[in-house]
């Protein structure tokens, strides 16, 4: 019997809804994008760390752990980013808010 292989495409990224007339630079969208970036960063860092351990790692893995290790790393990244993570999302959000504010001032010149 062949093992069942799940495609990584089954794990859907967070989709930011269209708000504010189709604009995606609302505070909620910026917050979500910053959190998504931090979650991805943490996921990739954990994945690289796990790959660095080589086969077996510190504790030998069972078939289930090998199969779902990437999904587990992704979930850890999402949870860590949701609880503040490394603070990357906060810094990005602060930087992006300044950029969006200056873009709004440029596109709506005073009379």
The verdict on residue 110 lying in a domain is no
Exposure of 62 by Cβ count < 10 A (0-12 exposed, 13-18 middle, 19+ buried)? Answer: exposed
Q: Looking at the 3D structure of the chain, how many domains does it have?
A: 1
The verdict on residue 31 lying in a domain is yes
Residue range 85-97: mean pLDDT, rounded? 88
The verdict on residue 80 lying in a domain is no
The verdict on residue 30 lying in a domain is yes
- Residue 21: is its pLDDT beyond 70? no
Q: Which tens digit of pLDDT belongs to each residue from 3-14? A: 444 444 444 444
Q: What is the extent of the structural domain holding 41?
A: 25-53+88-104
Q: Which tens digit of pLDDT belongs to each residue from 27-80? A: 888 889 999 999 999 999 998 888 887 776 667 777 777 778 888 888 999 999
The verdict on residue 7 lying in a domain is no
Cα–Cα distance for residue pair 12/31, rounded to 1 Å: 19
The verdict on residue 83 lying in a domain is no
The verdict on residue 37 lying in a domain is yes
The verdict on residue 95 lying in a domain is yes
């Amino acid at each position: 019997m062949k093992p069942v292989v799940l495609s990584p495409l089954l794990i859907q990224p967070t989709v930011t809804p269209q708000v504010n007339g189709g604009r995606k630079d609302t505070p909620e969208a910026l917050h979500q994008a910053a959190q998504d970036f931090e979650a991805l960063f943490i996921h990739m860092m954990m994945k690289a760390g796990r790959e660095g351990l080589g086969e077996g790692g510190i504790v030998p893995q069972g078939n289930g752990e090998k199969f779902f290790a990437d999904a587990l790393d992704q979930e850890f990244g999402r949870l860590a980013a949701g609880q503040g993570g490394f603070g990357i999302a906060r810094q990005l959000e602060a930087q992006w808010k300044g950029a969006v504010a200056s873009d709004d001032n440029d596109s709506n010149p005073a009379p």
